[in-house]
Structure 1
Amino acid sequence: MVFITDTYKTKDEETIFYYKWEVKKMPLKGIVQISHGVGEHAGRYHSIAKLLQEKGYEVYANDHRVHGKSAENKNDLGFYDGDNYFDDAINDMRQLTEIIKNEHPNKKIILFGHSMGSLLSRDYVTKYGDDLEALILSGTASFMKGLGTFGLYSAKVISKFKGRERSNQLLKSVFFSEFNKKFKPNRTKVDWISRDENEVDLFEADPYRIEDFSLSVFLDILKGSKKINEKSTFKKTPKALPIFIFSGDKDPVGEMGEGVKRVAENYKKAGIKDLTLKLYEGGRHEMLNEVNKEEVQQDVINWLEKRTKV
């Protein structure tokens, strides 16, 4: 077995499940903490985590609350009744960081975030960036002026009348169906994540895949997305923190590359000294599960090895 699992209790008594890919019998190059996307779970990052482990990087990844094995049972997947999902998820990430720091007191952390996890990570670095050695963002997004504004307004109105607890078909349709429309004729509901049909089928069959979310999750992620894409948030990012942003140029979350470019440009304007942007031609939302995933994984390793010291 190449990984172990454990749990920790949050300050509000939630149980968070996490994975750890340990490094043994070789010098430790660094620690990578992974923050996964909405509707998925940390176990989907086994391939990149195992590769990082083999290269000398120890990897930790938690299932965000109401995701994966952090949900008490599968009926709880996607169901959130707290006050602010975005803030709670960041606080949970921070507790995992504290576990890492206790186990590796002399090592800084490389934070890797995908999709929603990239949004959480971008906020995280404005608060705890001094604990980090580097930031890697996969499938990140700017705030979509059309879809994002409509979604935020709709979520606020609907939550006032129907509450925050359960899902709303309109918002599910607006976002995920809208993403998938870019790739008609559709074979599945999630063609937008990858051109690799095997990876798409694996995700569709994943027992921890979430389709039904509390309205509050949508609302809080949209509010968080708007906040992190403001100039003031970019300016709070440590200027010396190396950042690697990668995405597919056919990722609808990143507005077919244009939103990702805006994020990179805003980081440059904020004074980030070491910024790398790579858009993969034809790639969709999950570049780590794309037809050229080996190339993408190697690019991540190469970028990291230039910025970490044993």
Structure 2
Amino acid sequence: MKKQEGFLDSSDGKNKLHVTRWLPDQESLNVWVQLVHGMNEHMGRYEEFAAYLAEHGIAVMGHDCIGHGKTAASLEDRGWFGERQGHKFLVQDIRKVALYGKRIFPEAKHVILGHSMGSFMTRRYLAAYADGWKEKEPEAQSDQCGNPEAAHRKLGVEWQQEPDGVILSGTGNPPHELVRFGWGLANGFCIQKGTRDRSKTLYQMSIGTYNRQFAPVETDYDWLSRDRERVEKFLKDPYCDFIFTAGAYRDMFQTILEDQRAEKRGHFVKNIPYLIISGSDDPVGEGGKGIKRLVKRYEKAGVDDITCHLYPEARHEVLNEINRAEVYEDVLAWLQEKMGERT
């Protein structure tokens, strides 16, 4: 396996996306997986999972989203997407990395795996891309990942197809009214204190409630996993130790609202296989209730190839759970089955 790191220009015209790719030793590839991480984390936390897939002949690539990891230019930029509608840049960056991957792996099938925040951004991407990408094409640019020509220029206008498959990890389907309330509260903080304000009120209202069902707890992040070592590693990670800004919370709530509107109308990519992986004790998925509602919504909308694994007693990060070997095997089996069928 080979690991490579580099940078691509973000769609916001300001940031440099830190991109990591894990390449299997074999030259011929059948599929590559694009990772989109969750809030308060970075691509480095997916090392074990990515290495596992690479060992089985699957290439993996992902970037640190705006406001995260090595993409964030400073401590002040962590947990901040932009002054307004920053979530659109996160969604456009998914496409930029997808185009870049298409340039590197032109013959391989493309699967997007979005976790938590990344799952909601991925769902927004699938809705925005349902009728082809509507945004203005970015200008050609060079990158520092070994390809001086921008991927989309190399591919031209022919790259119009959707990904070949989608994996949603740690996703959810929260009540619409609750999300609207959260958006209004976050927007109020943005107006009163600015988009960079780090509100403990917003934190407590959102992820601050996730630990309640696991009391008594040892840390503020027991809800992530039953694996104590993984939770401690998260707490000690300097790239994970920050509170989201009011602007980022507003943009996250806006993304979820847009997801729900598009999915209820059936306006998203439906003709590809979906895999949903979640823990039965994941508060984001409401202990499985939100996941089941989401599956029903997808089925009603016309998704006819959907697989759902709800792991008993697992929490939010199933890729970091004590039964992660089982999860890895399930993901690999799905990739081998579904991507082997598509031509």
* Structure 1 residue ranges without an equivalent (≥5): none
Distance 2:211 2:21 in 1: 33
* Structure 2 residue ranges without an equivalent (≥5): 131-160
Change in Cα spacing, 1:124 to 1:258, as seen in structure 2 (3 Å) is same
- Give the stretch that moved more between structures: 208-217 or 49-58: 208-217
Shift of 1:154: 1.2
- Give the stretch that moved more between structures: 155-164 or 86-95: 155-164
The residue correspondences of 1:85-234 to structure 2 (distance < 5 A) are 85-128=86-129, 130-145=161-176, 147-230=178-261, 232=263
Distance 1:39 1:224 in 2: 17
User: 1:10 aligns to what?
Assistant: 10
C-alpha contact 2:10 2:93 (8 A) present in aligned 1: yes
Residue by residue over 1:36-66, the C-alpha shift from the partner in whole angstroms, topping out at 9 and shown as x without a partner, is 0011111111111111111111111100011
User: 2:74 aligns to what?
Assistant: 73
For these two proteins, the number of residue pairs brought into alignment is 310
Shift of 1:233: 5.7
Change in Cα spacing, 1:180 to 1:227, as seen in structure 2 (3 Å) is same
User: 2:64 aligns to what?
Assistant: 63
- Give the stretch that moved more between structures: 210-219 or 234-243: 234-243
Q: Secondary structure at the match of 2:38?
A: coil
TM-score by length of 2: 0.86
Q: Secondary structure at the match of 1:118?
A: helix
TM-score by length of 1: 0.95
Distance 1:72 1:2 in 2: 26
Shift of 1:147: 4.2
Distance 1:134 1:292 in 2: 24
User: 1:29 aligns to what?
Assistant: 30
Distance 1:301 1:209 in 2: 27
Distance 2:336 2:77 in 1: 39
Shift of 1:34: 0.3
Q: Percent identity?
A: 33
Change in Cα spacing, 1:234 to 1:143, as seen in structure 2 (3 Å) is farther
Residue type at the aligned position of 1:182: Q
C-alpha contact 2:277 2:310 (8 A) present in aligned 1: yes
Change in Cα spacing, 1:155 to 1:302, as seen in structure 2 (3 Å) is same
C-alpha contact 1:231 1:266 (8 A) present in aligned 2: no
Distance 1:109 1:128 in 2: 15
Aligned CA-pair RMSD: 1.8
Residue by residue over 1:141-199, the C-alpha shift from the partner in whole angstroms, topping out at 9 and shown as x without a partner, is 11334643432221122222222222111011111220111211110010000011111
Distance 1:199 1:22 in 2: 25
Distance 1:48 1:39 in 2: 18
